[in-house]
Amino acid sequence: MGNETITLLSKREIEKMRRAGQLAAELLDHLAPMIQPGISTLEINDEAERWTQAHGAISAPLGYHGFPKSICTSVNHVICHGIPNEAQILQDGDIINIDVTPIIDGYHGDSSKTFFVGTPSPVAKKLVEVTEECLKRGISAVGPGTKIGDIGAAIQEYAEGHGFSVVRDFVGHGIGREFHTAPQVPHYGTKGKGKRLRPGMVFTIEPMINEGTYEAVVLEDGWTAITKDYKLSAQFEHTIAVTEDGVDILTLP
């Protein structure tokens, strides 16, 4: 996670982050129509890479600590960091999280969304809807003077109130010129605890919500994290900036 020093970004830097964030949002919108039964996760990856290059940007995940692809594609019981491959064909009823991070002009725009493939099961539909609302509630807890624990508390209360669990092993993070910096932003926690938020802080909120246990297992590839009980997991992510009077979502189209 880099060192523990939190970098505050200037208004000019936040505008650069917004440009990168908008690119991330546009990329997810561009990929959405491809997400159909019968397509491979590698085809989605390759189109993401083509589009990113065509827009003068770089895919941050590609080669990051050895990650082999341009985006993460996490299907069904994969929590995060799923590696696209040609053998993984999407099926009707699957859910897939697509996580993209283009770099433009040196700044990272990090966003992810969970999509339905065809028609979801009732539990998958509920899980995805609750996870998206968890992100909204986490963002609503942000403002100058609030605490990092407020974010996690808002997410955890909503997820667990619907019978789901919050992943502990992976958290949101500071972001800017570097992909992952301080602070760490857990999606569980206690209101009023943790670092105080200040204008100029930029970080991701990216709750991973599981149907069953929150426990995760990382596969032998060193990346793919799955639910310990093989039940479903969903995730949504935005990059946000703390402002003088609230919060600014940088990864909106």
* Domain range summary for the chain, segments of one domain joined by +: 11-249
**Architecture of the domain whose range is 11-249:** Alpha-Beta Complex (3.90)
Which pLDDT does position 3 carry in this prediction? 55
Contact (CB, 8 A) for 28 and 102: no
What whole-number distance in Å separates Cα of residue 143 and Cα of residue 194?
14
- 136-150: pLDDT as tens digits: 999 999 999 999 999
Give me the half-sphere count of Cα atoms (radius 13 Å) on the Cβ side of residue 218: 6
What whole-number distance in Å separates Cα of residue 125 and Cα of residue 199?
36
What whole-number distance in Å separates Cα of residue 83 and Cα of residue 160?
29
H or E segment and range at residue 165: strand 165-166
H or E segment and range at residue 234: strand 233-235
Q: Tell me what the mean pLDDT of segment 71-90 comes to.
A: 98
Compute the CA torsion angle 116, 73, 102, 126 (nearest 10 deg): 30
- 151-186: pLDDT as tens digits: 999 999 999 999 999 999 999 999 999 999 999 999
| pTM of the model as a whole | 0.97
Alpha helices by DSSP H, listed for the chain, are 11-31, 41-54, 122-140, 148-161
- 93-127: pLDDT as tens digits: 999 999 999 999 999 999 999 999 999 999 999 99
**Where does the pLDDT of residue 231 fall: very low under 50, low under 70, confident under 90, or very high at 90 and above?**
very high
Which pLDDT does position 1 carry in this prediction? 43
Q: Please, is 215 exposed, middle or buried when counting C-beta atoms within 10 Å of its C-beta (0-12, 13-18, 19+)?
A: middle
Q: Is 65 annotated as contributing to ligand binding?
A: no
Which pLDDT does position 4 carry in this prediction? 77
What whole-number distance in Å separates Cα of residue 100 and Cα of residue 72?
7
- 26-73: pLDDT as tens digits: 999 999 999 999 999 999 999 999 999 999 999 999 999 999 999 999
Q: Is 55 annotated as contributing to ligand binding?
A: no
- 3-34: pLDDT as tens digits: 579 999 999 999 999 999 999 999 999 999 99
Q: Which residues pair with 26 in a beta bridge?
A: none
**Where does the pLDDT of residue 196 fall: very low under 50, low under 70, confident under 90, or very high at 90 and above?**
very high
Q: Is 81 annotated as contributing to ligand binding?
A: yes
Which pLDDT does position 227 carry in this prediction? 98
